[in-house]
Amino acid sequence: MNRIIFIGLWAMCTLTAMAQGQNNVIDEVIWVVGDEAILKSDVENARMEALQQGERWDGDPYCDISEQLAIKKLFLHQAAIDSVEVADADVFQQVDYQMNIYIQNIGSKEKMEEYFGRTTTQIREQLYNVIKEDEMVKKVRQNLVENIKVTPAQVRRYFKDLPEDSVPFVPTKLECQIIVRYPKIPQEEIDRVKDELRGYTERVNNGSTQFSTLALLYSEDKESAQRGGELGLSGRGSFVPEFANVAFNLTDPKSISKIVETEYGFHIIQLIEKRGDEINCRHILRKPRVSGEALQECVNDLDSIVKEINEGLYTFDECVSIVSADKDTRNNYGLMVNTNTKEGTSKFELKDLPSEVARAVVGLKVGDISKPFIMMNNKGKEVVAVAKLKSRVNGHRATMADDYQALQEVVLEKLCMEKIEKWIREKQQTTYIHINDDWRNCEFKYPGWIK
């Protein structure tokens, strides 16, 4: 990833406050909600972070942000009452992921420590607290709305009462099937890559070059290469089986693994540390080069296959199971799945399709098959593919007949928000709240803060 992913609205800003030290600021408690205090620095740091993300406010940002912090405290107060628990393993997994993002974007573990003014352990502890709080808030919210159901009558009533210009617009959705072929790679090219990796191993073993330096210079996993090949503390499930089987059997941080082949290419691995069921290691990835001739041969093969489909000798579905090399779609008649959606639907907006597929199908009629095209798959490999436009529903205002599911989700979200807002107002009345006099003149969304 090329940018820092922020977990919770205030995760990074809290750490930034550490980095800056704020030696010239006299902090103060401005709110107390239940047993939880909100500091002036909490609000200022959240404001600065929101500005960095481009957020703007219609009202006073200090009032809006302090109220959002107070709402979070209400949920945490309820979590304590309900004895809400969050599994440490889940929290640590998110911490490790976030730490890797920090290191990637800042440049190294040492630079991260310098930036935040804290040791790696201190940063991990702070992240742990922030992420755990966010997960507890999420659980309380889920508990509040888990029993809300939406009936067809509610959806009809909601749709009937909507002004015409407020009816949700459903963008154009496509379904695509795909056949993928991998170009042939000659044994000489595979041997060349393996010889390179053996050379790297020899340079590490004879002490002439560090593994991390070689990863930075030569690894084709660009994300980890920036960190000297380091992948971060992760469980076995984070890796493909072939990689995990070798990495988790390493015991000596000084030794280099044998060459490992995966769907991404060829790797060598160096252990950094083991911690319980998790491992941190470095790797160098090298990919065999695909020649123009091999790609063209693949294009010609698929061109012949499409011709046979169009002549009625085979169906597209039959050809998928016989010739497609894409294991993610082969067993589903080539139907692509939109992983950007929670439900994993087969329907895509054009912008959500891989760009090469989108260009191939944008002008097709339903049932048409594209010409062969070269694309980069999700493993970073050049492949050749053809795509069939299975269905298209053009963009339109939602209707009960065609878009009940979309309207049901809109109504469900509305009911959930109403439930949560009602809960906040009720919770205000039963929770101890004290606000510093200088912060009592705000126009809050929920006026029950002032008692």
- Return d(Cα 32, Cα 40) in angstroms, integer: 12
* Residue 2, Cβ density class (10 Å: 0-12 exposed, 13-18 middle, ≥19 buried): exposed
pLDDT band at 4 (very low <50, low <70, confident <90, very high): very low
Q: How many CB atoms lie within 10 A of CB 392?
A: 16
Q: Is the pLDDT of residue 198 over 50?
A: yes
Model confidence pLDDT, tens digit, residues 92-142: 878 877 887 888 778 788 888 888 888 888 888 888 998 999 999 999 999
**Span 237-249, average pLDDT:** 93
Please identify which residue in the block is written with the tokens 């795509």. Answer: 387
| CATH top-level class of 11-149+415-449 | mainly alpha
- Return d(Cα 322, Cα 331) in angstroms, integer: 10
Residue 8 has a pLDDT of: 35
Residue 33 has a pLDDT of: 93
Mean pLDDT of all residues in the chain? 87
Q: Which residues contact 241 (CB under 8 A, 6 or more apart)?
A: none
Domain residue spans in the chain?
Answer: 11-149+415-449, 173-185+291-397, 187-286
Q: Are 278 and 234 in contact (CB under 8 A)?
A: yes
Q: Are 27 and 39 in contact (CB under 8 A)?
A: yes
- Return d(Cα 377, Cα 354) in angstroms, integer: 9
- Return d(Cα 301, Cα 432) in angstroms, integer: 73
Q: Is the pLDDT of residue 6 over 50?
A: no
Q: Is the pLDDT of residue 339 over 50?
A: yes
> Largest Cα–Cα distance in the chain?
81
CATH number of 187-286: 3.10.50.40
Residue 338 has a pLDDT of: 87
DSSP letters, 227-251, are: TTTB--SEEGGGS-HHHHHHHTT--
pLDDT band at 69 (very low <50, low <70, confident <90, very high): very high
Percentage of residues of the chain with pLDDT beyond 90: 56
End-to-end Cα spacing for the chain: 47
Q: How many CB atoms lie within 10 A of CB 205?
A: 12
CATH number of 173-185+291-397: 3.10.50.40
Q: Is the pLDDT of residue 3 over 70?
A: no
**Span 368-384, average pLDDT:** 91
* Residue 46, Cβ density class (10 Å: 0-12 exposed, 13-18 middle, ≥19 buried): buried
pTM for the full predicted model: 0.60
Model confidence pLDDT, tens digit, residues 300-320: 999 999 999 999 999 999 999
Model confidence pLDDT, tens digit, residues 438-447: 888 898 999 8
Residue 343 has a pLDDT of: 64
Among 425, 422, 423, which Cα is nearest to 447's? 425
**187 sits in which H/E element:** helix 187-205
Model confidence pLDDT, tens digit, residues 40-59: 988 988 888 788 677 878 78
Model confidence pLDDT, tens digit, residues 20-38: 444 444 689 999 998 889 9
Fold match, 11-149+415-449 / 187-286: no
